[in-house]
Structure 1
Amino acid sequence: MKLITILFLCSRLLLSLSQEVVSQEVDCDDEDVFQAVDAALKKYNIRNQTGNHFVLYRITEATKMVGSETFYSLKYQIKEGDCSVQSTKSWQDCDYKMPAVEAATGECTATVGKRSNNKFSVATQTCKITPAEGSVVTAQYTCLGCVHPISTDSPELEPVLRHAIQHFNNNTEHSHLFALGEVKKARRQVVAGWNFELTYTIVQTNCSKKNFLFLTPDCKSLLNGDVGECTDNTYMNPELKIAAFSQNCDLYPGEDLVQPLPKHCPGCPREIPVDSPELKEALTHSILKLNAENNSTFYFKIETVKRATSQVVGGQKFYIEFTARETTCSKESNTELTEACEINSLGQSLSCSANVYMRLWENKIFPTVNCQPLDMNIMMRRPPGFSPFRAVKVQETNEGTTRLLRSCEYKGHPQKAGAEPTLDQWAESSHLAQ
């Protein structure tokens, strides 16, 4: 049940961040902030099997993220209390362990969601604990929403790498096909599916795109051919289909350079006008493919075609770059996208690339579409080393405006066991100069 809850929270967080997100500055003495911290600290204490409960010392950062769901991004400090984890007491009933030099301390970062019933649930949390005498120990929960390194030889990377190599070969105008070289780094994150972060090398083969549409066993790496290094981010949904993909590759020329292609090359990609009539069918199949694989409530419609190429390869292959935007037609009320479906100017926008291979005499069309969301607001980030006793001016950065708000130190403890503290007992706020 806990596993299902974590998966649900992580997927809701991912869905919320993939839509338009508004980050609000929120003071750390806000009642909802303390309830979120309370939920996070209680969860941390429950996971400890030995020792004492930890007690809230200070909240240093708090950001409220409002999208389709509400989440709080928090950073707070804790101190070891005088209550054993074996007791029935909550952390609010405990005092700090004395003498202070014998008490462990820690700093935690957490993402906490607020549900419609005003309950708070912890999506992710990491705490760095400093023992009374010793170095910092990182307590990393078994968090399905966290990124973890995995073996570069893992079999689960095979479909991801196969897609990556095919994507590179289909989306570059190099004269030859490339094959996988070496996987240098691999990381995975579980988010109602899987996110993969990969770094790998690619090598040029002896197969030209003029003669080969795909890599085959006959394609061998050239000893001194061109090489490259790629970094990919891939999302694979629970149905094991790649639903989102981005790739960044740097190519380096080899010693034996391939002769440049002639200016007029019958089998090479050629630029075509974005309003060319020959694109009509390819665009139709591209948007059909996008809507079939997209989980959005509304149909998408092509808004702008940015670039297009055509290539004759035992058929005709189109490469198209375009933007698509949500329409006013929902999939629940409409069986398909029609001309009557108007673009919603406030709807989600996607940046897409499509490869459409067509063999019309056999009535065969094979579209592949990859899209990334646009118009995403970047969350505000606070600078590292933030201290509640240091005044910091507002800074304009490329990622938005960074502000430091108030730091709240936990002051009061309930007079009676089990009593709920008042807001005045919870915290004392000190305003920082802006």
Structure 2
Amino acid sequence: MRALIVLSLLIQVLSIPPPPHVDPHPVTCDEKGVQEASQAAEKQIAVYHHHGYKYRLTNTASSKLQKKDDTECEFHLELVLEETDCHVVNPKPLEECQLRQMHETKVVSNCNVTLTIVNGKTFAIKYSCHSEPASAEELVKVCPDCPSLLSLTDPKGLESIKEAMKKFHAETNETNYWKMLEVGRISTQYMFQGQSYFAQFAIVETTCLRQDNPEESKCKMLGKEEVRFGFCTSTLLGDGEITVDCDLYEAQVLYCTLQQLIHPGGHTEDHVGPPGKPDGPPKLPHGPPKLPHGPPGHHDGHPPVLKESSEHHHPRVCGMPPFRDNKIHPIRSFPPPFMRPGFKGCHHHHTIPPTNGESHEGIVGGAGPRHV
């Protein structure tokens, strides 16, 4: 029975159209194509990265070209990407997003990338990335008094977000009720008012009316054609004073390559993979990608909810370690575990904890999809 379920899921994955080609320029199968290949990798990593903040390419550390013929080749690249200040729900073009500075706890991701190029187009990508924030020692040298990052599930930090959402709804003129979609960052600093908390988080518009003071768990996000997203920053000072500032974005089409594969309660989550080669995996249908019901990380109309217990819910994916102690959203490896040869399916209650540097290449199986 389990084998039939896994086979059914794989058939569903293979039936989902791929994302559009995102190559900024045709990639030539020679040493002159390294820059274009690096840019193509940056764009495709952005397509598959759907939590936290956008990453920008800052350096090609090394490259190796493996030619098959004049029009087909593979590039093996070592790339350095850095986190920007744009959350993935922000429609701003990647090149306009600003890189984080050291005093903001800079995050660097070192990626090993393999690109398959056919006739100048990128037809397959595989990568593993080691994402890591600047160390406390580095930060102290630059800014001894700067805020320090906390876990994305820090209870006091989440409580500050809850209070910020109350203030947002009390001050906004929005008709509909908004709810938190995902925590981006939480940091803290001791100030003369006491211990203060600083948060960044994404929000989503729901079907509930703000003035009805709805029960949040019953509010579903609007339909994919009209749903809006936003990004907020908040500060909770030690004396209890709270401020919140939110940018709300117009309804937009977001190509989401990670939906739900297996979730408690019958939700499903799918990955979109690159088209296969004639001598490789089955090809995916051509054409525009199937549009999801929401942005990266959504829950099929039910985005993560900040409960009264201050427990934060992150989307989970089969074979991926929990977000329990993460301070950042790392770039996850691609293809995901369940699309790799030899994958035997998801196994519940077998958690592989993340490493200090948030690198997760080589993990198969692992914890089953569940909230943490």
More strand per residue: 1 or 2?
1
Normalization by structure 1: what TM-score? Answer: 0.26
Higher relative contact order (CA 8 A, sep 6+): 2
